[in-house]
Structure formats: C-alpha cells, structure tokens
C-alpha cells in the first residue's frame, strides 16, 4: 500500500508529489506496543506543545510565537508565512526561519518535505485567518477557470466546504508532525444589538471557528489592557488561557495561569513541563 504526503493533505489534487512516502502495512497481529501499526505511548509522552494564539492585530501574537526560537527545547523554528508580517521578529527573534507560502501547491510541497524529514522542533503557521482566505481564493480561481461565468467573489456552499476541509487537513497535518506547533489567528467578535461584544472566537468562518480550536491543546486569547502606573498609563499585553462566558480559551495541561502578562514561549514551555512557576517575561 502506497500513499503520499499530498494524499494526506489534499487528496483531490491530481498533480503527483515529487517525494512519495512509503507507508507500511499494519502488522498481522498486535504487539504490546502497537495498535493497528501505530506506536502506543502514554498521555502527552512526546512532550510537544500545540497552541493557537488569537487576538486583534498588533497584540504581539507573531512575536510571542517567534519567541520559541530562543527556547533550546523548541528551536530551530520554521514559520510558514501567509500574512507577510514577520518584521516584528527581526530584532529579537531573527533565528526564526521563514518560508512564504504563495500557492496552495507550494503549501503541499512544504508539508511534504516536513512529512518526509522534519529538521525543526517548532512549526509556526502565521496566520490561520489569512490561510483560510488564501485557500478560498485558490478554490475560487479553479472554479472560474473551469466555469468562466462564475463570479470569483461569490462562493457556494460547496466551495466553502472544500476550503474548510483543506484548511482542516492542513491544521491536523501540521499538528500531527513530531514537533511543537503554534498557530496564530485574528479574533472574530459577535456583538448584540447594543454593539456590546458577547463572544470572542478565532477569526475563522463558519464551523472552522469551533472545530479548529478543538484540535489544539492550548487556545489562548491575547489582548492589550491599559493599566495606570502612578500618574502614567501603559498598555500591557495579556494572554487568557481559561475560557469565560464571552471568550474561548482552554489549557488542557491545566498548568498555565488563567491570565499571563507579556507571555513568552520560554515561560509557557517551562510552566507546562513543570520547570517554572508561571512568571512571565516581556514579549511586547
């Protein structure tokens, strides 16, 4: 039985991959350490973190993710860039390696290389919001190519479904690589008739808004809050890791504080793995 990295990510794409992967048949009978050919491990035995950081633009999501590059256990780091906003990493986290995704086929090829041999300890995808838009543009471009009468700005349920499935496959594929994975996204806010925000969720359309967070161990909402220090005011970057009635957040490790100030990946990693006390550094 033979499959490829392309089959796992985009089974409806017909172009062959240049890097086929041989997937062994499952063993004829179970052993103590395998089930259906899969390695059996204990809970979280691999020690990898998968996290979704979401919030408004400018709350240092990319910098927080990039701070993994100075954590020995999380470096080297590869950032898959859909947003073109990596300038914030230039000064402090210039060891982050960046690859710009310009076509969905290129995304396939990047994943195929990582699937075959992944030299990185952390993969960052920045951002899922732009990834979904990028994917939808690719889907609609193909629709118009086969049917020139279609409006490229009006997608049917079928196109929304296809785009959503491809993004879901990408998220799951990257998450399942043997490394840490960090995803970023903008925030989607729901308001009531009075304009008051009643819900905050990752900035993804439709069902993706709820399903993608389900694949993560940690979903953190990042925001800025004005705080008075003496007679002056300053904006502090905060990260919410426990959900509220309004805001989606979670921490399956159960070790992170509910709110972290100026979060950096060193503190997040150490706290999750029992090496720290939850004190935060300065990512702003």
Does residue 114 lie within any of the structural domains? yes
In a domain, 229, yes or no: yes
Question: Would 22 be classed as within a structural domain?
Answer: no
User: Rounded to a whole number, what is the distance in angstroms from the first to the last CA of the chain?
Assistant: 50
Note whether residue 27 is domain-resident.
no
* Strand ranges (E), the chain: 2-3, 21-22, 34-35, 38-39, 50-55, 77-81, 97-100, 122-126, 180-185, 187-191, 197-202, 218-229, 232-240, 250-251, 259-261
If pLDDT is split at 50, 70 and 90, which confidence band does 2 have? very low
Structural domain total, the chain: 1
Residue 151: pLDDT band with limits 50, 70, 90: confident
Query: What range defines the domain where residue 188 resides?
Result: 44-272
pLDDT for res 122? 94
- For residue 67, is it within any domain? yes
pLDDT attached to residue 13 = 43
Is 118 a domain residue? Answer: yes
Structural domain includes residue 17:
no
Confidence of residue 242 (pLDDT cuts 50, 70, 90): very high
Report the CATH number that the domain containing residue 109 is assigned in CATH: 3.40.50.300
pLDDT digits (tens, 9 = 90+) for 54-79: 999 888 899 999 999 999 999 999 99
pLDDT at 19: 47
Rounded to an integer, what distance in angstroms lies between the CA atom of residue 125 and that of residue 86?
Answer: 11
User: Which is higher by pLDDT, 32 or 217?
Assistant: 217
Show Cβ contacts of residue 57 under 8 Å, excluding neighbours closer than 6 positions.
186
Is residue 246 situated within a structural domain? yes
Contact between 101 and 134 under an 8 Å Cβ cutoff? The reply is yes
């Amino acid at each position: 039985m033979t499959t490829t990295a392309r089959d796992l990510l985009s089974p409806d794409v017909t172009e062959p991959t240049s890097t086929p992967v041989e997937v062994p048949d499952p063993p004829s009978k179970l052993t103590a350490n395998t089930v259906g050919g899969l390695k059996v491990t204990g809970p979280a035995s691999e020690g990898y973190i998968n996290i979704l950081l979401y919030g408004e633009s400018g709350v240092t999501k990319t910098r927080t993710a990039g701070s993994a590059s100075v954590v020995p256990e999380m470096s080297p780091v590869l950032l898959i860039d859909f947003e073109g906003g990596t300038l914030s990493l230039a000064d402090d986290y210039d060891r982050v390696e960046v690859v710009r995704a310009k076509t969905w086929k290129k995304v396939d090829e990047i994943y195929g290389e990582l699937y075959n041999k992944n030299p990185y300890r952390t993969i960052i995808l920045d951002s899922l919001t732009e990834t979904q838009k990028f994917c939808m543009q690719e889907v609609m471009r193909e629709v118009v190519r086969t049917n020139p009468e279609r409006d490229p700005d009006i997608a049917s349920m079928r196109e929304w479904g296809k785009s959503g499935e491809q993004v879901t496959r990408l998220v799951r594929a990257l998450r399942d690589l043997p490394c840490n994975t960090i995803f970023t996204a903008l925030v989607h806010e729901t308001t009531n008739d009075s304009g008051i925000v009643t819900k905050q969720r990752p900035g993804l359309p439709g069902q993706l808004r709820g399903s993608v967070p389900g694949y993560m161990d940690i979903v953190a909402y990042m925001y800025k809050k004005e705080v008075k220090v003496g007679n002056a005011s300053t904006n502090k970057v905060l990260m919410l890791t426990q959900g509220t009635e309004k805001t989606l957040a979670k921490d399956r490790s159960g070790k992170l504080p509910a709110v972290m100030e100026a979060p950096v990946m060193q503190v997040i990693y150490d706290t999750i793995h029992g090496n720290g006390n939850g004190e935060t550094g300065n990512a702003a």
